[in-house]
Structure 1
Amino acid sequence: MTVLPVALIHVTGVRRLTPRMVRCTFAGDGLDAFPTWPDQQLKLLFPRPGQTAPRLPEAPADDGMRWYQAFLALPEDERPWMRSYTVRAYDPERQWLTVDFVLHGAHESAGPATRWAATASVGDTLARYGPSAVYARPLPLDAPGPILLAGDETALPAIGSLAEALPATARATAWIEIADRAEEQPLPTRADLTVHWVHRDRAPAGPDGALLAAVRAARLPADPALAWLAGEAGAVRSLRRHLIADRGLDKRRIEFAGYWRRSLTQDDAPTEEDLVEARERIAAAQEEAGRTGSEQAG
């Protein structure tokens, strides 16, 4: 097996799942040792105009800090755009990975990832950075008690991977915000999963957003074992506050991630709220690690 934290990947298939979501499969070096887990994140690097493949720094990729410094040192007009994505699936026999891309906005005004995905074809080349199993955090998908899932369309690939990982004994409910009914897609699972699709074109306009309004109005299962939240960072923060302050859910049972920020990209500096969220996630991870260590010692 070959462990390659950074490598070029090549498109082997393209399929339009819905009007606003494209599924691409990729092959490439290092995918024979590809670590897998639900809600698996990695970085994709997109080529600049005029490039057939993203330019990568020559620094060794196994030294993450040195590699990233070399990446930032590339001339800006040659440095690839880097974006975070969820691995929707991995085929160990073909050694292919699958990534679903949400198409945001009109092609002319869209970001580099949407522009690339809207015209992707077999043979196109990207690069990947990661994933690293160091960042895998086990989720209690087999714990007794119901599971809550909530997110927008950017969270759909992760929700899909989580749904497939749920055991047959699990009970889960998902609230998923999408543009309209045409964006609904099947979520195969062995579990007892109820999905509530929240359509923005039908939802009443409000300052808190359609997803938060739907969850606020919902009759949630009692004593959930896990709440998993992802999507636009501001909406995720509001959802988390609602579950803790209004529903009395223990914050240790909430996994949350802001996948994107309204009016900002991953190239923009983090806001103060982003930094607060990062500190909360680090604190939660440290608390979990400490609790696990105490249990093992006992």
Structure 2
Amino acid sequence: MTTAVAAPFRFFSLQVVRTRRLGPSLVRVTFAGADLAYFHSDGRDQSLSLFIPAEGRTEPAVPVELGDGWWQVWRELPDDVRAVMRSYTLRELRRDPDEIDIDFVLHGVEPGASPTLGSARAGGPPSPAGPASRWASRAAAGDRVILLGPAVADNRAIRFRPPEDTDLVLVWGDETAVPAATAILESLPAGTRVRAWLEVPRAGDIQDVATRADAEINWVVGDTAEAAIRGARLPAGERPYVWIAGESGRVKELRRHFVGERGVDRRRVTFVGYWRQGLTEEQLREAGE
């Protein structure tokens, strides 16, 4: 497969080497491949586009080259052929051997159950598992994917960029942002003051985070972290940097809270909507969001 570079991004042909369940709702998939020699990223919330095979296929169908118009070429492939694209963040990049980890939230997949059945959240009716959750729940060594990722270490798909004078880092993320948030926490240097609120669906999804930072990490089961943030007493007179990621509606509400109610300079707030309640990624892309 030809992988022409459209700097700073390119296609990477990869395969699964192993998987590890992190909790009832989370699975880590490790990928390898010769192409990873050209994968470079200095970011801890590096965004990626993952292409998995269409249902019933073993190879993801994507355009041969990443050039102008590749998106339209991909969209025009038949529905039963076109690879499924989903957005994720890089959990970790390792060398010798070259490997990357991506953590998947298993929306609609109960532990030990069929990934087609779905699960309920907060007592609601079962929701069917999406194609990426189904794929991740049964991923096995040798499964092939295509990744659209960075060939340049510093690129526009890295969002966590605290100003040099930051003396307090504030982090919020729902389960879709936990991989990026925990990678950020692990990367921070000793002495960095951090307060983080991380939401997960179940208590078994809480993770140990090895960080050198002076970090207070609040794990919240369910979707009540927003209330905890609003009620939290934060040090006065600081130069904070805020990173918020997850469901886009809640992300916007928290941005309003920090800027409008806490008085944080909007230039010191990074907010990223990873998904929107009630919409698929295809619907979001069609809407231009």
TM-score band by shorter chain is 0.7 to 0.9
Equivalent residue of 2:176, what SS? helix
Paired residues of 2:17 and 2:32 also in contact (CA < 8 A): yes
Paired residues of 2:14 and 2:35 also in contact (CA < 8 A): no
Tell me what 2:47 maps to: 41
Q: Which one-letter code corresponds to 1:119 in the other structure? A: R
Paired residues of 2:188 and 2:212 also in contact (CA < 8 A): yes
Tell me which of 65, 70, 78 is aligned to 2:73: 70
Equivalent residue of 1:236, what SS? helix
Tell me what 2:112 maps to: none
Tell me what 1:174 maps to: 196
In structure 2, relative to structure 1, the CA distance for the partners of 1:41 and 1:269 (3 Å cut) is closer
Q: TM-score, normalised by structure 2?
A: 0.85
Q: TM-score, normalised by structure 1?
A: 0.82
Offset of residue 214 of structure 1: 1.4
Equivalent residue of 2:260, what SS? helix
How many Å separate the matches in 1 of 2:275 and 2:159?
A: 20
How many Å separate the matches in 2 of 1:51 and 1:153?
A: 29
Q: What percentage of residue pairs aligned between the two structures are identical?
A: 41
User: Which shows bigger deviation, 10-19 or 221-230?
Assistant: 221-230
In structure 2, relative to structure 1, the CA distance for the partners of 1:14 and 1:22 (3 Å cut) is same
Q: Which has the higher helix share?
A: 1
Tell me which of 28, 35, 38 is aligned to 2:33: 28
In structure 2, relative to structure 1, the CA distance for the partners of 1:73 and 1:3 (3 Å cut) is closer
Post-superposition CA distance 1:168-214 (Å, at most 9, x none): 121101001112321100111111111111111xxxxxxxx522211
Tell me what 2:263 maps to: 248
Tell me what 1:204 maps to: none
Q: Which one-letter code corresponds to 2:225 in the other structure? A: L
How many Å separate the matches in 1 of 2:197 and 2:286?
A: 27
Paired residues of 1:146 and 1:171 also in contact (CA < 8 A): yes
Tell me which of 144, 150, 162 is aligned to 1:140: 162
Unmatched segments (≥5 aa) in structure 2: 110-114, 117-127
Offset of residue 124 of structure 1: 1.0
Tell me what 1:85 maps to: 88
The alignment covers a number of residue pairs equal to 262
Equivalent residue of 1:78, what SS? coil
Offset of residue 270 of structure 1: 5.5
**Aligned structure 1 segments of 4 or more residues deviating by more than 3 angstroms:** 141-144, 269-272
Offset of residue 141 of structure 1: 7.0
Equivalent residue of 1:249, what SS? coil
1:53 aligned to 2:59? Answer: yes
Pick 1 or 2: higher relative contact order, CA cutoff 8 A, min separation 6: 2
Post-superposition CA distance 1:241-296 (Å, at most 9, x none): 11111111111000110101111111004598x75xxxxxxxxxxxxxxxxxxxxx
Tell me what 1:155 maps to: 177
How many Å separate the matches in 2 of 1:147 and 1:218?
A: 14
Offset of residue 221 of structure 1: 3.2
User: Which shows bigger deviation, 179-188 or 82-91?
Assistant: 179-188
How many Å separate the matches in 1 of 2:35 and 2:286?
A: 35
Q: Which one-letter code corresponds to 1:256 in the other structure? A: F
Tell me what 1:9 maps to: 14
Tell me which of 279, 285, 288 is aligned to 1:264: 279
Unmatched segments (≥5 aa) in structure 1: 201-208, 276-298
Paired residues of 1:163 and 1:189 also in contact (CA < 8 A): yes
In structure 2, relative to structure 1, the CA distance for the partners of 1:132 and 1:267 (3 Å cut) is farther
How many Å separate the matches in 1 of 2:35 and 2:84?
A: 21
In structure 2, relative to structure 1, the CA distance for the partners of 1:159 and 1:142 (3 Å cut) is farther
